[in-house]
Chain A
Amino acid sequence: MGRYVARRLLQMAPVFVGATLLIFLMVNVMGDPVAGLCGERRCDPATAARLKQEFGLDQPVWRQYLTYMANVFTGDFGTAFNGQAVTELMATSFPVTFRLTIVAILFEIAVGVTLGVVTGLRRGRPVDTGALLVTLVVISVPTFVTGLLLQLLLGVEWGWIKPSVSPEAGFGELLVPGLVLASVSLAYVTRLTRTSIAENARADYVRTAVAKGLPRHRVIVRHLLRNSLIPVVTFIGADVGFLMGGAIVTERIFNIHGVGYQLYQGILRQSTQTVVGFVTVLVLVFLVANLLVDLLYAVLDPRIRYV
C-alpha cells in the first residue's frame, strides 16, 4: 500500500511538469501581455520595457519557465499585474471554490446516490421513469440556463435568496450555486447508481444474502450498495477536479470570487503567472483526487489490493 502510494506520487512529477509547461507555452503564444495594460492606447515604450523586465517577460521563454519553476518550489507563484501576489489570490479564492465544490459533491452524494438506489430497486415503475425523464432534462439543459433561471426565480421573483454571493461566501449562500454546479453531475450519478444497482440486484451474492435471511436494509447497504458504488466513486472522484476548474460559469452567474473568477480574469489580462499558478494547483487537485479514488476502491472491494 505504502509503496503503491509512493509510486503514484512519483508519477505525478512528470504530469506536473508537463502540464505547467503546456499551460506556460499556451499563455505565451497569445503574445505580449503588457500591451493590454495601457487601455486603448500604446504603452509608452520606456514604461512597457520596465514592466516587461519586472515581470521577467524580456527573457526567452525557456528561461522564463525555469525561473518560474524554481520560484514555485520556494512557494513563490509570482505576481499578478495588479501587484498582488498570486499566492494571495489563491488564498482568497481557493477556499471559496473549495466550499462550493463540497456543497456540490454533497448534493451529488446525498441526492444522486439516494435517487439512484430508489430508482434502481424500482426499475420500470413510475418513480423510475419519472426520475429518468428529469435527469434527461437536467443533462440536456446547459448549466448557465439552469443558473440564470434559478437566480431569476429564487432571487428576483420570489426573493428567497440573494442573486449574488457576498465576498465571504458562507456555506448557506452557496447552496443554490452548489446545486446548479452539481446539477449535471448529479443526474449522471443518479443514472450511474441506478444501472449499477439494477445490475447487481440480481447477482448471486445478493440472492445468497437474502436467502440467509438478512434484513432488507442490510442487504442493500452492506452488500448491494457497497459493490455498486465503485463506478460512482470513480465518477465523483474525477468530478472533484472537474467541478473546481469548471466552476467558471456558475461563479460568473452568482458573482462568486473563486478560482473560476481569477482564472477568467487572468486569461483576459494574459497574466501568465496567475493562469499557470492556478492551473498547476488544479492539476494537483485532480491528481490527488484520482489517487484517493483508487485507494477508496480497496475499502469498497476487499478483493482489490495494492502492492
Chain B
Amino acid sequence: MRGATHARPVRPVVCAMALALAATACGGGGSDGGGDTGAVLSSSWGDPPNPLEPANTNEVQGGKVLSMIFRGLKQYDPKTGEAEDMLAEKIETTDSTTYTITVEDGWTFSNGEKVTARSFVDAWNYGASLKNNQRNAYFFEYIDGYDKTHPADGGKQTADTLSGLRVTGDRTFTVKLKQKFSSFPDTLGYNAYAPLPRAFFDDHDAWLKKPVGNGPYRVESYTKGSQLSLRTWGAYPGEDKARNGGVDLKVYTDSNTAYTDLMAGNLDLVDDVPAAQLKNVRSDLGDRYINAPAGIIQTLAFPYYDQSWGKTGMEKVRQGLSRAINRVQITRTIFQNTRTPAVDWTSPVLGEEGGYRAGPCGDACVYDAAAAKKLIKEGGGLPGGQVKITYNADTGSHREWVDAVCNSINNALDDDNACVGNPIGTFADYRNRITDRKMTGPFRAGWQMDYPLIQNFLQPLYYTDASSNDGKWSSPEFDKLVDQANAENDAARAVEKFRQAEEVLRDQMAAIPLWYQNGSAGYSPRLSNVALNPFSVPVYDQIKVG
C-alpha cells in the first residue's frame, strides 16, 4: 500500500480523470466538504478482520461491502427478509436433493465480464477448497463432495472441486446435495454464494486490493484500514440501481468518534450508535435515529459436557434461572430498549410465516422470583451453590448486562452469592475456552443469522455436534424433527416441524433466551429513505442524498 503521506498528491489526478471520463462525483464526500460531490454519502465502518473475499467474510463490516458490490442468485428483501430471485432465473428440484439452477441472461461484472454458470461454480469450489483457508467454507458442507475438498478430520484434501457441482450449459448448472434440504435455495442470498469474475482467480492480489463484483456499486479506491470509496456503477443491469452517487466507508476505531462526527456534520451515517449515547440520541437526532429489529438473539448457553449441568433434572434449574432474570427491566435500563425481551429461540425478523411466534418460551421467559426459587429447589439447587456467567470483556458492553443479570438472579433467590460474572480478557481467549470445553457454568452466546430462516436459528446451534453447538447439547428427538423438517418439500410444513423442534428446546431449556438485538443507526439531515435490513446493515442503494 502507498504511504498515507502519498495519498494527497495522487488524489487530484485521479479526480481530474474521473471528471473527464464520466463527470461523476469525486473526492472524499463529507471529508472534503466540496459542493461538487453532491450525491456521495459517507458512512462509518470498521476494519474487517479477514481478507475481503465472499467465502472468507463472516462479520458485518466486511459483509456490508460485499452486499454492495455483489449480487447473488437470491436477494433478501430489506423489509420482509424474504428470499427473492436476483440472478436466478429459476431454481428447480423434484427431490430436494438435486437442484438445477438457471442464471438470468444479461448480467455482467463491473469489468465487463459476463456472469455465467461458471462464475458461480468456480466461486463455490474456491470457497469449499481447504487450501484456500476460507472461514465460511462450511456453507458448502451440504454439497456433495465437500468431504473430499474439505476433509474434517485433518486428512489430506483429495479433490479441488465439489463433485456435486456440474456446469450443464452457459447459464445452467446443477447442485447435488448430500442430504435433503428443502430450504437450500433460500440460503443462496448469503454472501458466501456470490459469483466471482475470472480476475479473482487470475490475479488474486490485485483483486483483493480492488475487488470487482457485479453489484450496484463498484470499488473506486481502497486504502486498507482507513477508507473504502464505492461509486455507483452506471451500467449495473439490475432493477435495484443505487439512488445515490456512491458511498465512502470510513474506518472508525471508536463508535463514539463516529457519532461525534455525525453531530458535527462531518459524517452522514453511523450504523452503530454507541451505548453511551443511547440516552440522548432521541434529542440529538430526533427521527433521524433508527432502532429496528435485526436477526440477532442473545442467549445463555450451558456446558452439557460438564456432569453437574448435563445430568437429567437440571432443566428445572435452567428454567428457574430463566425465570429469575428480569428481561424487561434489563432491556429498558441497560439497553434503553435497543433490545427486546426474548420469547422464543429465533427472531421476530423471520415473521410468522418464517417460523417466529410470540411465546414458545411462555412463562419460562417471564420474571417470577417465587417460581424461580421453587424450580431451582426442585432441580436440586445450583451446582456448587453458585453460577458463574462467563463472557468476554473486550467487546460489546457485556459486563453491564451480565452484572445486571446476576443482580436480578441474586435478588430473585435472596442470595448475594448466587450469581457472579466471570470475565475473560479477549474474545479469542473466550472462544478458545469454549472450543476446549473449559466452561463450568452458563456462558454468553450470541447468534446473528446468516439467512432469514428458522433453520438457521436452530440447526447450527442445537443439532448434535453442529458447527456452533458450543454447549454440546444433544437431543435425538430434536435432531429427528430437524431432519424431517429439512426433508419437507413444502415450506409451511417444514416450518411447522422446526417449531416442534423448538418446543423440545423449550422443554429442556437447552439455552436461556435473553433478548433480541436491534440494529441502530443515525443519519444526517441530507439523507432520506434510510433503512436497516434484517442483518442490521443499512440499505445503501436506497438512500437518497440531498
Contacts and interface: CB of A to CB of B under 8 A. Distances in A.
Contacts of B460: 41
B230 to A, nearest CB: 16
A242 to B, nearest CB: 20
Contacts, number: 180
A24 interface: no
B260 A167 contact: no
B226 interface: yes
Contact of A162 (B49, B51, B252, B266): B266
Contacts of A82: 47-51, 224
Contact of A96 (B4, B130, B468): B4
A35 interface: yes
Contacts of A84: 1, 224-225
B130 A39 contact: no
A20 B417 CA distance: 42
A88 B223 CA distance: 11
B428 A251 contact: no
A182 B28 CA distance: 30
B86 to A, nearest CB: 25
A270 B427 CA distance: 9
Given A82-B50, A83-B51, A95-B5, A38 B253 contact: no
Contact of A42 (B250, B395, B425, B434): B434
Interface in A35-55: 35-47, 49-51, 54
A166 B28 CA distance: 10
B130 A38 contact: no
A255 interface: yes
Given A91-B1, A169-B4, A44 B208 contact: no
* Chain A interface main SS type: helix
B152 interface: yes
Interface stretch (A59-67, A186-194, A260-268, A296-304): A260-268
Contacts of B131: 50
B207 interface: no
Nearest to A35: B431
B467 interface: yes
B430 to A, nearest CB: 8
Residue in B28, B47, B153 whose Cβ sees the most chain A Cβ within 10 Å: B47
Interface in A6-42: 30-42
B58 A92 contact: no
A54 B133 contact: yes
B498 to A, nearest CB: 20
Nearest to A248: B253
Residue in A88, A167, A170, A265 whose Cβ sees the most chain B Cβ within 10 Å: A167
B432 interface: yes
Interface string B427-453: 111111011000000000111100000
A86 to B, nearest CB: 12
Contacts of B448: 39-40
Interface string B80-108: 00000000000000000000000000000
A253 B460 CA distance: 39
Nearest to A253: B257
Contacts of B134: 47
Contacts of B267: 164
Contacts of B31: 162, 166
Nearest to A254: B257
Given A50-B130, A163-B264, A39 B428 contact: no
Contacts of B138: 44
Contacts of A40: 445-448, 468
Given A40-B446, A40-B468, A268 B426 contact: yes
Contact of A31 (B8, B47, B432): B432
A47 B137 CA distance: 8
A268 B427 contact: yes
Contacts of A168: 4-5, 7-8
Interface residues of B, number: 66
Interface in A82-124: 82-84, 88-89, 91-92, 95-96
Nearest to B58: A39
A54 B226 CA distance: 26
B353 interface: no
Nearest to A32: B432
Contacts of B154: 45-46, 49
Nearest to B137: A47
A163 B257 contact: yes
Contacts of A89: 225
Contacts of A92: 1, 3-4, 225-226
A164 B224 contact: no
A219 to B, nearest CB: 43
Contacts of A261: 253
Contacts of B153: 46
A223 interface: no
B251 to A, nearest CB: 7
A164 B261 contact: yes
Nearest to A166: B31
Contacts of B427: 36, 268
Given A51-B133, A268-B426, A81 B49 contact: yes
B217 to A, nearest CB: 20
Given A36-B428, A167-B7, A265-B253, 14 more contacts: A30-B425, A35-B429, A38-B135, A41-B460, A47-B134, A84-B225, A92-B4, A95-B4, A162-B31, A163-B264, A164-B260, A262-B225, A265-B47, A267-B426
Of all A-B residue pairs in the complex, the 10 with the closest CB atoms, nearest first, are A36-B428, A167-B226, A35-B431, A41-B468, A83-B51, A35-B432, A163-B260, A255-B257, A31-B429, A270-B428
